[in-house]
A and B are shown apart, each in its own frame.
Chain A
Amino acid sequence: MISIIDYNAGNVYNVLKACQRVGVDAQLTADPEQIKNSSAVLFPGVGAFKDAMDTLADRGLVSVIQETVNQGTPFLGICLGMQMLFDSSTEFGNTKGLGLIPGRIEKIPDDNGQRIVPQAGWNENQLMNQQTVFKGIQNQYTYFTHSYYAVCNPQYIVSSVDYGLQIPAIVNRDNIYGFQFHPEKSGQVGLYLLKTFFEQVVAK
């Protein structure tokens, strides 16, 4: 069973619809046992890092996610869900993340008004790791909407986009994956990426 963590911080319904479109019967849940017993977990999120972490903590889901990941369950964070995989964020001071991928989340610098923040729109992926199942991402556009980005060791970056600075788009560490963009809003490319995750990461 594939779970989509539903913690009232994100448009989980569109992720659910995209899963249905690629033939995957996923379920929205915040139940710890169901999450831990899933064959894979999707972790969407939009909004503010701190609010979302607080909500996870209130629902007792921080340790549930950490345990689920540590037992090897394929885990995919989307947008804010991807950012929360890292150690911390500078949003509203310094907020602790899930600590599953080394690195931190920082505000995209506007360079004194020279760069538009948020990044909102379609940007072209450059493949940074040839060994990934997501090789098809090379030169493909995906849809982003975010004001913060991941700063991490290149070893975790699968693809990145050029926004005047390099922004990690797909990150990966062992069974943990993160998409900074919205696959559920990235047309056929987004559906391909979800399908690839289900067929080549989950099925492995």
Chain B
Amino acid sequence: MLAKRIIPCLDIANGRVKKGVNFVNLQDVGDPVEIAAVYEQQGADELVFLDITATNEHRKTMADVVEQVSQQVFMPLTVGGGISSLADMDRLLHAGADKVAINSAAIANPALITAGAKRFGSQAIVVAIDVKWDAPSKQFLVYTHGGTKNTGINALKWAQQAVANGAGELLVTSMDRDGTKQGFDTQLYTELGKLVTVPIIASGGAGKTADFITLFQNPSVTGALAASIFHYRELSIPDVKRSLQANGVVVRR
């Protein structure tokens, strides 16, 4: 059976891992290559790199990071942050990324999803969606530009459109849960799972092992993304996987 995926996310600024990563025996706490290698050893199933500077100059730096990591670490790599053209995608995929995640640019220009899927294949195009519950209108809304801008667009409808346009996967972050460590937004993913049949990666809210077990009861969610709880070793990937396996969730060991 297909294993559920545990996916650490690394924020990259100027070619360095931004948030401190708190592993023992790391020579250089900001080196993306060294950190990626540690995560591979720990059994991470994929890695996501998020370019949090995302200016033109830094995008070239990001391609260099991907190039270096892909020479040392042989696992799927997704890169996101500021990707807004086929040329951006081409540069990163050429450097060694397997998938690119597009967010704000896809909202501004949904045809970019189709163009990317046609050129590189749907499997290479991840649409990332930042979502917040809007109580007055009782719907999930899409936010862009690092979660700062409310688009007023219904997130579930946008997800369906993104898939229709050729998205091969959806990376859906609950802004309500992000950083809270109170568990994933299972309601969001349940509703989403009824509407799309592409793989969904859930993000936002991971705090304890049980959160992953709960999340993965949803067959539509095949991946879970988390950052600080892994970086600061509040949870270890081997522990999470052991626990998942003990609870009947298929994981790669």
Binding site for B on A (CB under 8 A): 11, 13-14, 17-18, 20-21, 46-48, 110, 113, 115-124, 141, 143-147, 161-163, 182, 184-188, 190-191
- Tell me the chain B residues, 15-44 only, with Cβ under 8 Å from chain A: 40
The reply to whether A120 and B98 form a contact with Cβ atoms under 8 Å apart is no
Q: What bracket does the count of chain B residues touching chain A fall in?
A: 20 to 34
CB of B139 within 8 A of chain A?
no
- Tell me the chain B residues, 94-117 only, with Cβ under 8 Å from chain A: 94-96, 98
CB of B179 within 8 A of chain A?
no
The reply to whether A185 and B75 form a contact with Cβ atoms under 8 Å apart is yes
Distance (whole angstroms) from the CB of A189 to the closest CB of chain B: 9
The reply to whether B45 and A185 form a contact with Cβ atoms under 8 Å apart is no
The reply to whether B123 and A122 form a contact with Cβ atoms under 8 Å apart is no
The reply to whether A190 and B121 form a contact with Cβ atoms under 8 Å apart is no
**15 additional contacts, CB 8 Å, given A13-B95, A20-B71, A145-B76?**
A11-B93, A13-B96, A21-B74, A113-B197, A116-B197, A116-B198, A121-B45, A122-B252, A123-B3, A124-B3, A145-B123, A145-B168, A146-B123, A163-B1, A187-B75
The reply to whether A48 and B3 form a contact with Cβ atoms under 8 Å apart is no
Contact partners of A124 in chain B: CB under 8 A = 1, 3, 252
* CB closest chain-A residue, reference B124: A46
Contact partners of B93 in chain A: CB under 8 A = 11
Contact partners of A186 in chain B: CB under 8 A = 74-75
- Tell me the chain B residues, 48-93 only, with Cβ under 8 Å from chain A: 70-71, 74-76, 93
* CB closest chain-B residue, reference A144: B2
Cα distance A184–B3 when bound, in Å? Answer: 18
CB of B147 within 8 A of chain A?
no
The reply to whether B96 and A17 form a contact with Cβ atoms under 8 Å apart is yes
Cα distance A12–B120 when bound, in Å? Answer: 13
Cα distance A184–B121 when bound, in Å? Answer: 18
**Interface residues as binary, B112-149 with A (CB distance below 8 Å gives 1, 0 otherwise):** 00000000111110000000000000000000000000
Highest count of chain A CB atoms <10 Å: which of B2, B93, B120, B168: B2
The reply to whether B124 and A123 form a contact with Cβ atoms under 8 Å apart is no
The reply to whether B123 and A110 form a contact with Cβ atoms under 8 Å apart is no
